[in-house]
Amino acid sequence: MKKKDRSRREFLENAGLSDPEKELFCNAKPRPSKTLGKYMEGFLNWSRANSLWILGYGTGCGAIELRPLMTARYDMFRYGIAPRPTPRQSTVFIIGGYASVKTLKRIVRSYEQMQDPKFVMGLGSCTINGGMYWDSYNTINRLDHYIPVDVYITGCMPRPESIIAGFEELKNRIRKGYTQGANQYINNFDWYKRNQKQIIKDWNMPDYNW
């Protein structure tokens, strides 16, 4: 084995993965994204706000209200909103409903696969305080303890009109440059990871992967 390859393997800390899988991931911590100046960043934020590609993660009953947004009555496409099939193609991550212990691992994995800048919407009361499952042994109560959340939409379940209002609030926050959740996650990486691993006991995935 070459010296370079051997030293690279020594810095991989993904315990439990097979040797071929260890070569696919790096344990280096992510770095915050830098802004490009006042005017350039303002133009980019305007562009981002008017082109929201969503990844809908339907964990519970709240996600059923996402479907009407695609119908002719609400027509989310006129607002510059379009669904995407994978995390790497998406800019907005929508968590619709309660998040169970098992689901949280998939939420974290999907969020970390999204490219920066990325935004998160918590859909329904369950993402805020657990909702009707607030004292359940198998659900989490505050989504923002595990990944950053830019906008919460209250209700059980929130109607499509509320979701559109939530998108409008997200757009305003993006245009004003208030949505720095991705950098917040990186700057407080150890805190988020500690919270995640207190809930997810079978942590069998890399800590981070672009």
Buried b (16+ CB within 10 A) or exposed e, 42-62: eebbeebbeebebbbbbbbbb
Q: Name the pTM for this structure.
A: 0.82
* Residues 6+ away with beta carbon under 8 Å from 19: none
**Is residue 139 helix, strand or coil?**
strand
Set out the domains of the chain in order of their start, with CATH numbers: 55-199 (3.40.50.12280)
Query: What is the edge-to-edge ordering of all strands in the sheet holding 151-153?
Result: 81-83, 52-58, 92-96, 119-123, 151-153
Confidence of residue 137 (pLDDT cuts 50, 70, 90): confident
pLDDT at 38 over 50: yes
The pLDDT value recorded for residue 120 is 95
13-17, 19-23, 70-74, 179-183: segment of lowest average pLDDT: 13-17
Q: Which amino acid is at 9?
A: R
- What was the pLDDT predicted at 1? 46
Q: pLDDT at residue 9 above 50?
A: no
Report residue 7's pLDDT band, with 50, 70 and 90 as the boundaries. Answer: very low
pLDDT at 167 over 90: yes
Q: How confident is the model at residue 27 (pLDDT cuts 50, 70, 90)?
A: low
Q: In 3D, which of 204, 179, 181, 178 has the Cα closest to residue 192?
A: 181
Phi, psi angles (nearest 5°) of residue 139: -130, 160
Cα radius of gyration (the chain): 18
Please determine, for residue 99, whether its predicted confidence score (pLDDT) is greater than 60.
Answer: yes
In angstroms, rounded to a whole number, what is the distance separating the alpha carbons of residues 210 and 203? 18
For 2-34, what is the HEC assignment? Answer: CHHHHHHHHCCCCCCCCHHHHCCCCCCCCCCCC
Q: How far apart are CA 191 and CA 40, in angstroms?
A: 32
pLDDT for 24 equals 59
